[in-house]
Amino acid sequence: KILIIGAAGQIGSELTYKLRELHGDDNVIASDITYENTALVNSGIFEIVDAQDQASVRICVDKHKIDTIYLMAAMLSATGEKYPMKAWDLNMNSLFHVLNLAKEGIIKKVFWPSSIAVFGPTTPKVDTPQHSIMEPSTVYGITKQAGERWCDYYHKNYGVDVRSLRFPGIISWKTMPGGGTTDYAVEIYHQAILDKSYECFLKEDTELPMMFMDDAINAMVELMDAASETVKIRSSYNLAAISITPKEVSEAIKKHIPDFRISYSPDFRQKIADTWPKSIDDSEARTDWGWNQKFDLDKMTEEMLKNLSEKYAKVK
């Protein structure tokens, strides 16, 4: 059975629905620290699990005979800069609890998300390679770099089958993101429907690697389904789809909403975005286990605007 820790989050919630589709509702246990995502809580088996409390994780694993864990609970880049030690504690303690359950043989397979945030200002910014200079300047990036090292260590020294992806910014419509620097790319679509205008917290030419949620979920499923011997990278795979700027997103929206207006008021998150790559070389993922994205900016924009206008039409 599969346990998703942090199922209420932006990726966790859509991952839960997808895994239930693939494996059956009763084989997928969603968990988070609160009941606040009521749609998710009422959609299937849900448990309160505190990812930082080893006993809390173990009780849920034993109760439901879990053999696979997707650890999606984390504090993201922007919030992590406000609460550095909380970000370190949450992101690292949760990973150790899950890796140690796998080391003891209680858990057979682990997914843990890393991020392009592992790269820093000294990393080559264009077509950033799988193996490169990594001097992350955010706490979140430091936790992802340290976490990748531990995943690789537990695989090499204890045979733990842990698999990981360095996600770019992820764009989705079902659940709002939680405190990331790339959140503008989600907010802009909501505002396009609600107000036909958006005040962007990054500069118009800030190019960042991004991905539509369906591609991200497919990548996780494909990686976890791949034969273990094909998963050669056990720190975390580079993963990419599109590289876009706020200006390009606004132009794509204007094809559907011609009078959409965007303004720019860069805030502290600009400093974070400026340390990250503009584009990523993910050829290892494509070679090792057949990764390939399906959504470009226009196709993603169509999906986002279609689903959000339906979602908001219901609540009017």
Active-site residue list: 140
Looking at 26-34, 39-47, 88-96, 176-184, which segment touches ligand VAH (CB under 6 A)?
176-184
Question: Closest distance between ligand VAH and the C-beta of residue 119, in Å?
Answer: 10
Question: Closest distance between ligand VAH and the C-beta of residue 40, in Å?
Answer: 19
Beta strands in 96-207 (DSSP E): 109-115, 162-167, 169-171, 197-200
Question: Closest distance between ligand VAH and the C-beta of residue 162, in Å?
Answer: 18
Cβ-based nearer residue to ligand VAH, 16 or 141: 141
Question: Closest distance between ligand VAH and the C-beta of residue 272, in Å?
Answer: 8
Structure tokens at 227: 């034969």
Contact indicator for 182, 246 with CB cutoff of 8 Å:
no
Looking at 14-22, 24-32, 179-187, 297-305, which segment touches ligand VAH (CB under 6 A)?
179-187
6 binds ligand VAH (CB under 6 A): no
The residues in 107-166 that bind ligand VAH, with binding defined as CB under 6 A, are 115-117, 140
Cβ-based nearer residue to ligand VAH, 68 or 182: 182
Count other C-beta atoms under 10 Å from residue 85's C-beta. Answer: 9
182 binds ligand VAH (CB under 6 A): yes
Cβ-based nearer residue to ligand VAH, 52 or 115: 115
Cβ-based nearer residue to ligand VAH, 107 or 185: 185
Structure tokens at 145: 């770099």
Residue whose tokens read 């994780």: 57
Cβ-based nearer residue to ligand VAH, 181 or 245: 181
Rounding to the nearest 10 degrees, give the CA dihedral for residues 76, 277, 225, 107. Answer: -40
Count other C-beta atoms under 10 Å from residue 206's C-beta. Answer: 23
271/206 Cα distance (integer angstroms): 11
Choose, by CB under 6 A, the member of 168, 217, 238, 297 that binds ligand VAH: 168
Q: How many residues bind ligand VAH (CB under 6 A)?
A: 13
Question: Closest distance between ligand VAH and the C-beta of residue 23, in Å?
Answer: 26
172/217 Cα distance (integer angstroms): 11
Chain residue at closest Cβ approach to ligand VAH: 180
Looking at 48-56, 173-181, 281-289, 303-311, which segment touches ligand VAH (CB under 6 A)?
173-181
In terms of C-beta density within 10 A (0-12 exposed, 13-18 middle, 19 or more buried), how is residue 316 classed? exposed
Q: Which residues contact 231 (CB under 8 A, 6 or more apart)?
A: 163, 223, 288, 289
Q: CA-CA distances (angstroms) from residue 113 to 11, 23, 117, 205, 223? A: 10, 21, 11, 27, 12
180 binds ligand VAH (CB under 6 A): yes
289 binds ligand VAH (CB under 6 A): no
76 binds ligand VAH (CB under 6 A): yes
Q: Which residues of 97-109 are buried (b: 16+ CB within 10 A; e: fewer)?
A: bbbbbbbeeebeb
181 binds ligand VAH (CB under 6 A): yes
Structure tokens at 90: 């949450």
Structure tokens at 197: 């205008």
273 binds ligand VAH (CB under 6 A): no
Cβ-based nearer residue to ligand VAH, 125 or 254: 125
Cβ-based nearer residue to ligand VAH, 56 or 235: 235
Residues found near ligand VAH in the complex (CB under 6 A):
76-77, 115-117, 140, 167-169, 177, 180-182
